[in-house]
Structure 1
Amino acid sequence: MITQERLQKVIAASGRYSRRQAEELIKQGKVIVDGKKITQLGSKVNPQQSRIVVCGRLIFNRAQKKYFLFHKPRQCMVTRDDPEGRKTIYDYLPQKMKNFKPVGRLDYDSEGLLLLTNDGELAQKLTHPQFHIEKIYEVKVVSKPHLRQLERLRTGFELDGRKTLPMKVDIIDENPKSTWLSMVLHEGRNRQIRRMCDKVGLTVKTLVRTQFGPFALKGIPYAKYKEVSLNLTPFVSRFIPRIRYEKAV
């Protein structure tokens, strides 16, 4: 059975445009499907077979969806351009990846796993609060945390007017001057780990994201990336991937 979807939805799923932007481009006659200009909203296409060109650029072909895992280095921004002139992730990536968008964020001083893709539908599901996608971090803090500090992190407390979700926190390694913690989040508020640690009196020295949903940082060198091929299967609002790792570059 051939599945037909609304053209604006298919364009938005590419990750390049929002649904509203897609609708405006269709009305302006800037969308070509299989060689034919489309100006009628509500037109339907087969996303697995149709060749869709927007503003002169081929933007969607389901077979062309790609996924890259990048080991984000410290002191770079997860954005295309920075008004302060700081390095961005795209300074470390080849030209062919300039149109792939990051899924989620890591702050300037943090490092670790970052997914980049042109699959807008997957990106939305991985970042939507209702799915509670698991993210694992290794965090180095100054000195040795007290039990009450760890318990506050685990049980949660009010942040930005809302209580944080319960979080798994374990000690990985410790010495008199510093402690490495493993922290498992199921939400993604702005600079959440740093702010939570600060609120309980812990100073973060290093923060590394080691896992994001089904994706892991292991095997990806610092500031390098891997392309992954995957087949996602829905299961209880999550995904069980079958992933083949390509050579790191």
Structure 2
Amino acid sequence: MDGYVMRLNQFISHNAKYSRREADILIEQGRVNIEKTKANTKSVLLEGQRVFIDGKYVKPKDEELYTVIVYHKPKGELVSKKDDRGRRVVYDTLGGKYMHFVPIGRLDFASEGVLLLTDNKKVAQSLMESDLEREYIIKINGKITEEMIRAMNEGIHIENASTGAHQKSKIYSMTFAPFIRYEIGKNDIHFSKLKVTIMEGKNRELRRFFAHFKADVMDLRRIRYGWINLNALPVGKIRFLNKDEYKQLHQFMGKIGKIDSFISKNNI
């Protein structure tokens, strides 16, 4: 489709304070218009078309301008807009000012630490899909065994990695790459502590990894995402990236842009 931009609900969630589900409800209620045309939930936008909610123009964000915040997510919050079970979500703490920000990756309900959020979808996708290092401090019950150390050094494929996963997860078989690095702080029969660095951290990767060795993760805190550190940011508080962190982010996005251009040019 010439000039295709994106689906209407996607455009609204990216450029306004509503989630895609909330955008669909607004559309169904007849509160959304594309120029002078009545919108529907299957609407897609073409380049140059303007969107209105309750008669108010929804201004597209400048893709070259973006904000990234660092949030010290506490335990007991979901990285989600809403929860059908009434549990607390990160936006309950962040407030309406940041409802249009999207999370860069996730931390599960029982985990805490660095959660990055941005108002730019391309930035979010690029950082999520990157191989940037993610660093965690972990506490497990029991000792760190030779089998665990071997798997951290060499990687491991687990055919049934459902233990430690979310109960609704449909991913069972997983391959765990070797850890980038790890430091054992305490190794005791009652509990052990270690700092680990990996490159993905998806689908409760660390909880599944240690569960395979009959060790439950008692505490998990992400202290670094790429070049962005948690440092002394208090639990439940946010900060903006500093000048040096933004400089590195702009350099990172510049590299991504060059890669995208190369792929497009060479039809890869």
TM-score tier by shorter-chain length is 0.7 to 0.9
Count of aligned pairs: 219
* Aligned counterpart in structure 2 of residue 168 of structure 1, from 173, 177, 180: 180
Does the C-alpha gap of structure 1 residues 167 and 57 become closer, same or farther in structure 2, counting only changes over 3 Å? farther
Distance 1:124 1:233 in 2: 16
Distance 1:41 1:198 in 2: 46
Greater fraction strand? 1
Correspondence list, 1:39-54, <5 A: 42-43=46-47, 54=52
Q: Give the C-alpha shift of residue 54 in structure 1.
A: 4.9
* Aligned counterpart in structure 2 of residue 30 of structure 1, from 33, 42, 56: 33
* Aligned counterpart in structure 2 of residue 8 of structure 1, from 5, 23, 38: 5
Does the C-alpha gap of structure 1 residues 199 and 54 become closer, same or farther in structure 2, counting only changes over 3 Å? farther
Instruction: Indicate the SS of the match to 1:30.
Output: strand
Q: Give the C-alpha shift of residue 238 in structure 1.
A: 10
Matched, 1:211 2:208: no
Gaps of 5+ in 2: 36-42, 159-171, 259-268
Distance 1:212 1:238 in 2: 21
Partner of 1:244: none
Partner of 1:148: 147
Q: Give the C-alpha shift of residue 188 in structure 1.
A: 3.5
Correspondence list, 1:1-249, <5 A: 8=5, 15=14, 30-31=33-34, 42-43=46-47, 54-55=52-53, 56-62=56-62, 65-128=66-129, 131-159=130-158, 160-174=172-186, 176=188, 177-228=190-241, 230-231=246-247, 232-234=250-252
TM-score (ref. length: structure 1): 0.72
Contact in 1 for aligned 2:51/2:58 (Cα 8 Å): yes
Contact in 2 for aligned 1:78/1:88 (Cα 8 Å): yes
Q: Give the C-alpha shift of residue 147 in structure 1.
A: 2.2
Does the C-alpha gap of structure 1 residues 170 and 41 become closer, same or farther in structure 2, counting only changes over 3 Å? closer
Q: Give the C-alpha shift of residue 214 in structure 1.
A: 2.4
Does the C-alpha gap of structure 1 residues 154 and 200 become closer, same or farther in structure 2, counting only changes over 3 Å? farther
For residues 218-244 of structure 1, give each alpha carbon's deviation from its aligned partner in whole angstroms, at most 9, with x where no partner exists. Answer: 1311110012262411476599xxxxx
Does the C-alpha gap of structure 1 residues 31 and 166 become closer, same or farther in structure 2, counting only changes over 3 Å? farther
- Match for 1:103: what amino acid? I
Q: Give the C-alpha shift of residue 15 in structure 1.
A: 3.3
Instruction: Indicate the SS of the match to 2:241.
Output: strand
Distance 1:7 1:238 in 2: 20
Distance 2:44 2:89 in 1: 39
Q: Give the C-alpha shift of residue 167 in structure 1.
A: 1.2
Does the C-alpha gap of structure 1 residues 221 and 153 become closer, same or farther in structure 2, counting only changes over 3 Å? same
Contact in 2 for aligned 1:135/1:213 (Cα 8 Å): yes
Distance 1:156 1:91 in 2: 38
TM-score (ref. length: structure 2): 0.68
- Match for 1:114: what amino acid? L
Contact in 2 for aligned 1:153/1:196 (Cα 8 Å): no
- Match for 2:137: what amino acid? E
Does the C-alpha gap of structure 1 residues 143 and 60 become closer, same or farther in structure 2, counting only changes over 3 Å? same
- Match for 2:153: what amino acid? R
Does the C-alpha gap of structure 1 residues 170 and 30 become closer, same or farther in structure 2, counting only changes over 3 Å? same
Q: Give the C-alpha shift of residue 10 in structure 1.
A: 11
